[in-house]
């Protein structure tokens, strides 16, 4: 069966599967007789409803319309149930707290390099979150990359995947393995989802595959077939909607708060339970032995177990009670009256309890003795063996051999770091990223440290992992977060860094309260320090390092606003005889080098591009990628280059830093430098050493000869001295003229017109 028919068959199955069969069962789920209980083949249980008074209207709802109000399109055949902005509903589950909806797919089609049509999928169900266990993100094509965006914890979330192939012969049916088809998992708590798909080369290199396609879909409703890679625009534009599962709950309050305020819908014979940590609201369910709709005012009704299957020895022994039943022996008999422990005559009743009691007592004593001995003999030994296994698996023996020849870093025990973080208490979490979780800790000498629980190390790359730890531990640069040590006794390695206490560059650029103190001089100094670090990593140390995830969130600031480059989780060492590496594309959207994304060949110029984006962030105080901005402004780097081309630079520059003519001159030169870093081809970009030299020259533009002298300031006033800012001449404009924007220094290529 083809992909199209296969998915359509499953979709119809989901749509035609009602929650409860029978009109009588359906009517028992609504709150009032006038409420519609079904639309087509879909049952509508309260708190969902169509008519006024038939659905739950959350008093804390900030939207213009009730979240759980539905519509029934009776003009469709069969009638179609609609939620919100014309989103079709296939089923509603009270027990699971799930709602099935149908979405179309995103596609981007070409013919001979020219676009023939495209579409992006989105679904905003407000407080409903897409199920992380019942769905997956899929992209198909031989020249395709897709990304999935939404909101999680109030912030934008991104994930995605890419797939390339040279011919259909390399693609296998039913295998979505990255060749012709790729998958990405979806985290809990994501709302307001959008799926976008694009092509690397407009499908010019793969004419047999005209379309890139992506979509979220229920995990059991998708089968990949390679023949569908040859389908054209019409196939996808007419394709039936795909099923997707969302989670729902009641309101935005917890069970306890709703019960205290008397607004909780969970009434008689029900249990109120909270949702996942990433989702607001609560859910009701019937207690064991009760059935019905737990959201209705009358609550759940008792089940008469005696009318159905039960464990009683005979039907007449069964007595129904609220929430359960009892099996009782008739007069003259003793026992439990169950199939496994039936009724016996009273004349023999004394023997059975004696035998049972003696057997249970002896079994308990034997079990306790054996359990104590096993725990005493094997408990500590097993823990020790497990830690030794992890130590060897994570390369501890190799690291010990190399440390015996150098004083590189300290190896901590698992107990050391458990004590430092109060057993990894969640209150000590100071950061989460794509490569691990970071905890704040205090080690034995009362030194504050940052402890990173990294991703699991591939056993086949242990030696490379150890070599990178040793290289990073020997980096001697005041503007790099220092690696103090590691622990290899746990399943995943733990890395111990120095603790930096003043947040990140991203925090300071995006916090309105911090902006007045975050002057142009401070920003320029931070940019210069980061450029020096990257130049140091690329050219100074014996084994060059490519950072690969340079962004404002990985630039920490201390109390003196000194930059500290962090997070080398994605970094790669560059062999001295190899100028580029073929790697899996890693990094952050908005900062990724387009050439690296297309070729998967990592070079030092990839860091230059990412640093160029950071320079633009410093100049504009805008996020590198934001779906809150208009489409033409969504990608900051592209928007910045467009403004430069239009000679409208100051339309985008942060007004907080335009304080004098001298600042304007520096800003223009930094903008030129950023533009150079953002050239499409890596060979046209500067090296980081050239970038660092140019920034140092820009810093000196407004300095008086006496500026470097700190007069009577002592060491205690260093931070205050740095925050005063760089003094300017009497007119405040000694940094240059407006024409400097298109007159870069001699070693920067011309930026007008051009490439």
* Catalytic site positions: 549
Torsion of CA 643, 644, 646, 648, to 10 degrees: 70
* Residue 670 neighbours by CB under 8 Å, 6+ apart: 524, 527, 615, 618, 619, 695, 698
Long-range contacts of 390-394 (CB under 8 A, 24+ apart): 390/488, 390/489, 390/490, 390/491, 391/488, 391/489, 393/457, 393/459, 393/462, 394/457, 394/462, 394/465, 394/488, 394/493
Residue entry with tokens 């014309």: 86
State both tokens at 712: 């009577």
DSSP lists the bridge partners of residue 678 as none
Calpha distance 319→601 (Å, rounded): 74
Q: Answer whether 267's CB lies under 8 Å from 298's CB.
A: yes
Identify whether 78 is preceded by a cis peptide bond (ω within 30 of 0): yes
Calpha distance 262→239 (Å, rounded): 47
Calpha distance 62→83 (Å, rounded): 17
Element at 417 (helix H, strand E): helix 414-420
State both tokens at 588: 């952050």
Give the per-residue SS3 of 506-534: HHHHHCCCCHHHCCHHHHHHHHHHHHHHH
Calpha distance 443→459 (Å, rounded): 29
Q: Answer whether 121's CB lies under 8 Å from 146's CB.
A: no
Comparing CA positions, the residue from 146, 136, 59, 133 lying closest to residue 96 is: 133
Buried b (16+ CB within 10 A) or exposed e, 508-534: bbeeeeeeeebbbbbbbbbbbbbbbbb
Q: Answer whether 563's CB lies under 8 Å from 551's CB.
A: no
Q: Count the neighbouring beta carbons within 10 Å of the beta carbon of residue 177.
A: 13
SS3 484: strand
- In whole angstroms, how far apart are CA 413 and each of 391, 421, 505? 10, 13, 33
Q: Answer whether 482's CB lies under 8 Å from 452's CB.
A: no
């Amino acid at each position: 069966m083809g992909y199209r028919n296969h998915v359509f068959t499953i979709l119809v199955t989901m749509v035609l599967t009602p929650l409860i069969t029978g009109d009588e069962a359906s009517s028992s789920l609504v709150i009032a007789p006038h409420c519609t209980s079904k639309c087509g083949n879909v049952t509508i249980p309260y708190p969902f409803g169509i008519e006024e008074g038939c659905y739950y209207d959350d008093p804390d709802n900030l939207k213009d319309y009730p979240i759980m109000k539905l519509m029934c399109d009776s003009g469709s055949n069969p009638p179609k149930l609609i939620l919100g902005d014309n989103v079709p509903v296939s089923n509603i589950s009270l027990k699971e707290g799930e709602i099935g909806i149908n979405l179309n797919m995103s596609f981007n089609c070409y013919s001979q390099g020219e676009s023939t049509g495209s579409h992006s999928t989105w679904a905003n169900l407000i407080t409903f979150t897409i199920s992380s266990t019942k769905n997956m993100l899929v992209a198909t094509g031989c020249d395709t990359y897709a990304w999935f965006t939404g909101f999680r914890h109030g912030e934008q979330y991104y994930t995605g995947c890419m797939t390339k192939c040279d011919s259909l012969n390399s693609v296998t049916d039913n295998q979505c393995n990255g060749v012709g088809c790729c998958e990405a998992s979806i985290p809990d708590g994501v709302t307001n989802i959008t799926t976008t798909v694009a092509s690397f080369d407009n499908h010019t290199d793969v004419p047999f595959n005209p379309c890139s396609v992506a979509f979220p879909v229920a995990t059991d409703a998708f089968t990949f077939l390679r023949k569908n890679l040859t389908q054209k625009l019409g196939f996808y534009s007419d394709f039936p909607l795909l099923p997707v599962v969302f989670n729902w709950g009641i309101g935005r309050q917890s069970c306890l708060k709703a019960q205290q305020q008397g607004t909780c819908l969970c009434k008689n014979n029900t249990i109120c339970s909270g949702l996942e940590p990433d989702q607001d609201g609560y859910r009701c369910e019937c207690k064991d032995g009760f059935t019905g709709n737990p959201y209705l005012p009358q609550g759940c009704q008792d089940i008469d177990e005696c009318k159905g299957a039960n464990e009683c020895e005979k039907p007449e022994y069964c007595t129904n009670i609220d929430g359960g039943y009892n099996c009782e022996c008739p007069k003259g008999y003793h026992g439990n009256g169950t199939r496994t422990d039936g009724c016996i005559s009273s004349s023999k009743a004394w023997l059975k309890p004696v035998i049972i009691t003696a057997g249970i007592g002896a079994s308990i004593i034997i079990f306790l003795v054996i359990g104590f001995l096993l725990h005493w003999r094997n408990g500590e030994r097993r823990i020790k063996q497990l830690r030794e296994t992890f130590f060897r698996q994570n390369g501890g023996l190799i690291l010990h051999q190399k440390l015996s020849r150098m004083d590189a870093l300290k190896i901590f025990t698992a107990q050391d770091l458990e004590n430092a973080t109060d057993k990894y208490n969640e209150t000590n979490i100071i950061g989460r990223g794509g490569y691990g979780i970071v905890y704040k800790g205090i080690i034995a000498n009362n030194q504050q440290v940052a402890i990173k629980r990294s991703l699991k190390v591939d056993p086949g790359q242990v030696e490379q992992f150890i070599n990178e730890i040793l290289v990073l531990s020997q980096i001697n640069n005041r503007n790099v977060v220092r690696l103090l040590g590691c622990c290899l006794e746990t399943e995943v390695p733990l890395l111990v860094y120095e603790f930096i206490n003043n947040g990140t560059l991203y925090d300071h650029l995006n916090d309105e309260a911090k902006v007045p103190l975050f002057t142009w001089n401070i920003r320029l100094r931070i940019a210069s320090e980061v450029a020096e670090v990257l130049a140091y990593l690329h050219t100074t140390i014996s084994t060059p390092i490519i950072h690969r995830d340079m962004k404002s969130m990985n630039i920490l600031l201390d109390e003196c606003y000194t930059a500290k480059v962090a997070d080398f989780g994605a970094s790669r060492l560059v062999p001295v005889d190899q100028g580029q590496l073929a790697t899996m594309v890693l990094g952050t959207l908005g900062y990724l080098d387009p050439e690296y994304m297309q070729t998967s060949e990592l070079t030092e110029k990839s860091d230059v591009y990412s640093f160029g984006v950071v320079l633009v962030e410093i100049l504009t105080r805008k996020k590198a990628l934001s779906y809150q901005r208009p489409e033409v402004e969504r990608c900051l780097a592209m928007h910045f280059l467009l403004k430069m081309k239009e000679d409208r630079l100051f339309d985008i520059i942060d007004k907080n830093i335009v304080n004098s003519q001298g600042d304007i001159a520096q800003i223009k030169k930094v903008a030129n430098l950023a533009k150079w870093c953002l050239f499409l081809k890596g060979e046209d970009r500067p090296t980081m050493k050239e970038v660092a030299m140019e920034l140092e020259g820009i810093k000196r533009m407004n300095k008086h000869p006496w500026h470097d002298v700190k007069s009577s300031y002592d060491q205690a006033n260093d931070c205050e001295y740095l925050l005063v800012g760089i003094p300017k001449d009497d007119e405040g404009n000694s940094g240059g003229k407006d024409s400097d924007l298109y007159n870069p220094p001699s070693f920067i290529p011309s930026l007008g017109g051009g490439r």
